[in-house]
Amino acid sequence: MYDLPIPMPDRRTTAKESLKKTSSTSEVEEINKFKSNSISSDNNDYNDELRDSTHSNIKTMSLIKLKQIEDMRQKILSYKLLSEKTMFINSTNTENLIDKCNIILFGPSGSGKSSLIKSLYRALYNSPILPPEVMNKLIIRGTFRNEGTLNFTKLYLVVKTDNNTGITICDTRGHLKMNQNEKEQFKVMLEGNVKDGVKIEQRTERDPFSLWEFWKRDSELFPKEIFDSNTPGLKSVPHAVIFVFDGSIDNVIQEEDVNFYKDLVNFSKNKGYQDIHVVLTRIDLFEKMINKRYKNLPISERNVKLNMLKDEKIEKVIETLNVNRSNIHFIENYHGEVQKDNNLEIDYHILKALVDILNSSELYMLYYMNQKQTCFAGCFS
């Protein structure tokens, strides 16, 4: 038997396997690189689409808010007092009774009353430059500095014309001592016959020739020079009462001041001001403080926390002053002439508050004219 020869190795197979071995690494790398590029490209396309969609949504929302702001500006600048409530008025001579709406601000010293007035002008006229007659009368100082406004200051937010009703804002000296003297000063200003630019403060001495003065308390003694000679009426009295507090501090109304402000609110309601408003300023500082305090939380959770703490502040104000929830406004005041990125938000909340306040002023006017409280839909709703 012949021994069969041992077959020679198939060099083609060996070469093929060798080629496969040498090329497998580079091929896999190429394939993985291709897949990675494809996935990266897909992700980039998705991110671009998401970014474009987000920008588009933000732009759309900004346009909607801008339209709402412009609508509110036009309503306020062309505001006609009681134009939509004539059916509730018993008196027929409203034109002779009222030619402007009077709004008055009260609150602790440094709470942001004067800054609120400045912000109202900026938001309403869409300009950082205020009229000289306004800037010359407004006194704005920091929260922890000495007093700003000292005198009763009347400013025209909207000048009366044949086509619209005027709107005046009265700035007042901030409360410092929260005592009986300041309560009586508050009552005097609500009477509506105080001169513009005077310092509302009690006298330290009694007139020896006025026997009736000896029946008055010290807190009720005011110099005659501060009063207007005209008899106060619906034209001169405030039509809306606004309390302004610093919303950035933990206790919006300090514990020792609660009874003082309760008395002021109750007195106002007894005078017919049933729809009192509260403005909480410096919401921007409050938000910064919360973001810093909870910086380790995700943004979504921080926003939830922020809204929860806002609600807590509002509930506390409602509990303390017994005012309507819809009449409590969080706002951010403008500071300086520098334009901000969130101008739309600032303008929207300030103008929305003003619209609500004008509606409340009409409720008081109807009460005053008809001497009864009437309930109905808001003219700006």
Q: What is the pLDDT of residue 14?
A: 47
pLDDT tens column, 308-318: 999 999 999 99
User: Does the pLDDT value for residue 341 go beyond 70?
Assistant: no
Instruction: Provide mean pLDDT across the span 192-208.
Output: 85
Q: What is the pLDDT of residue 373?
A: 42
Q: What is the pLDDT of the chain when averaged over all its residues? A: 81
Which tens digit of pLDDT belongs to each residue from 248-307?
998 999 999 999 999 999 999 999 999 999 999 999 999 999 999 999 999 899 999 999
Going by C-beta distance under 8 Å and a sequence separation of 6 or more, which residues neighbour residue 185?
173, 200, 201, 202
CA atoms of 115 and 107, how far apart (whole Å): 13
Sign, Cα dihedral of 227, 233, 235, 240: positive
Cα 147 to Cα 229: distance, rounded to the nearest angstrom: 29
Name 348's Cβ contacts closer than 8 Å, sequence gap at least 6. Answer: 65, 68, 69, 72
Which residue intervals of the chain are DSSP H helices?
A: 11-77, 94-97, 113-125, 132-135, 180-191, 258-270, 283-293, 299-321, 343-370
Query: How many Å apart are CA 233 and CA 251, to the nearest integer?
Result: 37
Residue with tokens 């110099």: 223
Q: What is the pTM of this model?
A: 0.79
Which tens digit of pLDDT belongs to each residue from 246-263? 999 989 999 999 999 999
Question: Can you tell me the distance from the alpha carbon of 190 to that of 306, in angstroms, rounded to the nearest whole number?
Answer: 36
Domains of the chain: 78-370 (3.40.50.300)
- Residue 165 has what DSSP assignment? -
